[in-house]
Structure 1
Amino acid sequence: MENSSHPRLLAIVGPTAVGKTDLAMRIAARSDVEIVGADSRQVYRHMDVGTAKPSPDQLSAVPHHLVDIIDPDDDFSLGMFLDLSKEVILNANTTGKIPILVGGTGQYVMALLENWNVPLVPPDPVLRRELEYILESQGIDDLLSRLRSLDPGALERVDAANPRRLIRAIEVAQSHGPDPNALRRLDPWFEFSVIGLGMERAALYERADDRVDRMMDAGFLDEVRRLLAMGYSPDLPSMSGIGYHELADHLMNGADISDAVQRTKFRTHRYIRRQANWFRRDDPRIRWFEPTQLDSAIEYAAKWIG
């Protein structure tokens, strides 16, 4: 591809367990690139097995960014991701490298590619405790009503089934009020190409289930046990991740381990369905490949990188 006066970014998107990291590493073996994580769980230190974080060998072979950058009890937000990722993209381009955005957190990916205008609102611990009490005592419908009264438009942007996302949306709305410019798209400031990696849903579920089993064999339960021993509360946003919540329930409350693993698999299936809303097969910006077509995807990437 001809040189551009704008920064450039290659993105690899798709559902969890489909093989995005392996594809990125194979592209990196042929091209001078750096990898930018777009995973809301891989930012946390000490959470490696359950987040399918790149291996130590992979992390040392290619520069990675936005992986292992905060502790499990630190706050992280979409606004913080955008600020950090934009800095990485600019720095990589300055040194002549192409950054590859890799991850399955759809909101992070699309907010970056579409250049959303996201307000930076610091966490409000007092408000969060109040909203968590409302959630426990009155249910999620009361939180939905509160957000509707503060900013009706926010209901269209938030995952209403996710209490933590709902609480965060209320936090932002209460700080800024209804904002017609909230999350509006700004003019693009970089060139990008998007590779989508996908496969038939039933086969993907089976692949994801196999990965959960491999995670258990690799020490996922011990990882959760260590996190709890380090003093990280199971109520932290980081510990609400798929598998962490279920295995903590087993360790702290005696929930059956087989049931915890099965619930982890079911949650993974639900997550895959949600990801499909972000990474759509009919999105003209995404060039889709199957995992059996990795060689073609690599050639496509190499041609675009130049």
Structure 2
Amino acid sequence: MKEKLVVIVGPTAVGKTKLSIEMAKRVHGEIISGDSMQVYRNMDIGTAKISVEEMEGIPHHLLDIKNPDEAYSAAAFQSEVKRCVTDITSRGKLPILVGGSGLYIQAVLYDYHFSKQERNEAITAKLERQIELEGIMSLYTRLTEVDPEQAKKIHPNNHRRVVRALEIYEATGGTMTELQKNQRKELQFEVQLVGLEMERQLLYDRINNRVDEMIEKGLVSEVRQLVAEGYGECQSMQAIGYKELIPYIEGQCSMEEAIETLKQNSRRYAKRQYTWFKNKLDINWYSVEPETINEKFRIIINDLAGFLKER
């Protein structure tokens, strides 16, 4: 029998964390973070990481397991989630995976097989030398030519992923996109997928308010401290919530400009998240409103009653 898993997805600021806590309390669940940035220690405010008080005693997994300069990947996430699901299930609890990192969630649900191609150190070194001599955009432009679909998924500043995608192409003659399209589509868990959505302007208002709250809580100080500790150039600092404030800290823009950029990037990210989940996964969607969100949460939990009773 496959292990049971509830997955809660949706755009940022829609209410996933609150629903997961309410569900875990009702069904004796434990929560697995499905956020690719909340694995990093001391990156709390900008990632909207849940506080100990907000957990209400519910165990959470895959938070604060890496330093900001350590690499983290969908493959590592997949392995960690499998381990967590087995552990939580063995103790008679229900694992609840919560987050907005689409590729990470998909990798877990469909037992995504990552490339077993061994790293070709010679090719990697050559590509990295090219970055040093010509800059990352030289490699990124080439990636857009040989694998345009993959290029759309990778930020140009993500040197590691750009190099890996080109390394696979040069070593095998095949693209990362081709590799992904050949993946199996069978779910490896008995899954209930719950998606939260909200009328766009309401969601955007919540996102803007969340950014204001982050600033009030000390986001600037958090970013400044990370930069002071030498993490400013790390890939983790390219996350939304951090990269927008570094120019302000370095005196390249005003606080107002940095905050507006952060709000704009957060809204755009929410739109991309929603589009990705709509296109990639078969999800039971629930539209929520701030005023009636608690009632909608009760409906969602009741809708899962049959699935949960079969445990």
Q: Give the TM-score, by structure 2 length.
A: 0.85
Other-structure match for 2:223: 224
Letter in 2 for 1:211: R
* Structure 2: distance between partners of 1:171 and 1:15: 28
Take 1:12 and 1:50, find their aligned partners in 2: how far apart are those partners? 21
- Between the aligned partners of 2:10 and 2:44, the Cα distance in structure 1 is 20
Q: Which moved more, 1:53-62 or 1:250-259?
A: 53-62
Does the 8 A contact of 2:14 with 2:198 survive in 1? yes
Q: Distance in 2 between matches of 1:50 and 1:32?
A: 29
AA partner of residue 40 (structure 1): S
Task: State percent identity of aligned pairs.
Answer: 33
C-alpha contact (below 8 Å) 1:14/1:279 kept by paired residues: yes
What SS does the aligned partner of 2:7 have?
strand
Deviation of 1:69 (Å): 0.5
Structure 1 residues 97 and 173: CA distance shift in structure 2, 3 A = farther
Residues 54-69 of structure 1: matches in 2 within 5 Å? 54-59=50-55, 61-69=57-65
User: 1:298–1:147: structure 2 CA closer, same or farther, 3 Å change rule?
Assistant: same
Give the 3 Å change call, closer, same or farther, for CA 156–23 of structure 1 in structure 2. same
Q: CA deviation at 1:302?
A: 4.2
1:171 aligns with 2:131: no
Q: What is the count of residue pairs matched by the alignment?
A: 294
**How do 1:155-166 and structure 2 match up within 5 A?**
155-160=148-153, 162-165=155-158
**Distance apart, 1:237 and its partner CA:** 1.0
> Which digits, 9 at most, give the CA deviation of each residue in 1:101-135, with x for residues without a partner?
10011111122222221126779785446437644
Aligned residue number for residue 25 of structure 2 = 29
Deviation at 1:57, TM superposition (A): 1.9
Query: Mean alpha-carbon deviation: is it higher for 178-187 or for 220-229?
Result: 178-187
| Distance change in 2, residues 1:160/1:8 (3 Å) | closer
1:147 Cα deviation from its structure 2 partner: 5.7
1:1-306 aligned within 5 A: 5-59=1-55, 61-119=57-115, 126=125, 127-128=127-128, 130-131=130-131, 134-135=134-135, 139=137, 143-146=140-143, 148-149=145-146, 152=147, 155-160=148-153, 162-165=155-158, 168-175=161-168, 177=172, 178=174, 180-182=178-180, 184-186=182-184, 187-232=186-231, 234-280=232-278, 284-291=282-289, 292=293, 293-306=296-309
Distance change in 2, residues 1:270/1:123 (3 Å): farther
The 2-side partners of 1:114 and 1:20 are apart by: 22
Contact 1:110/1:278 (<8 A) preserved = no
8 Å Cα contact 2:128/2:163 also seen in 1? no
Deviation at 1:281, TM superposition (A): 8.0
TM-score by length of 1: 0.86
Q: Determine the C-alpha separation between the residues in 2 that align with 1:212 and 1:114.
A: 33
Shift of 1:301: 3.5
Q: What amino acid maps onto 1:251 in structure 2?
A: I
Distance 1:131 1:183, change over 3 A: farther
The SS at the match of 1:197 is: strand
| Aligned 8 A contact 1:147 1:170 in 2 | no
Q: For residues 71-95 of structure 1, what are the alpha-carbon distances to aligned partners after superposition, in whole Å with 9 as ceiling and x for unaligned?
A: 0000001111111111111221122
Residue 182 of structure 1: CA displacement? Answer: 4.2
Change (3 A) 1:174 1:230: same
Q: Is the 8 A contact 1:9 1:192 kept in 2?
A: yes
By how many angstroms is 1:253 displaced? Answer: 2.9
Say if 1:282 and 1:160 are closer, same or farther in 2 by CA, change over 3 A.
closer
Task: Assess, with a 3 A threshold, how the Cα gap between structure 1 residues 161 and 81 changes in structure 2: closer, same or farther.
Answer: closer
Counterparts of 2:11 and 2:192 in 1: how far apart (Å)?
18
Partner amino acid, structure 1, of 2:213: R
Q: Which runs of 5+ in 1 are unaligned?
A: none
User: Equivalents in 1 of 2:227, 2:203: separation in Å?
Assistant: 31
Deviation at 1:34, TM superposition (A): 1.1
Secondary structure, aligned partner of 2:195:
strand
1:118-166 deviation digits (Å, cap 9, x = unpaired): 1267797854464376445xx36x52424643xx3xx324535621457
Runs (5+) with no aligned partner, structure 2? none
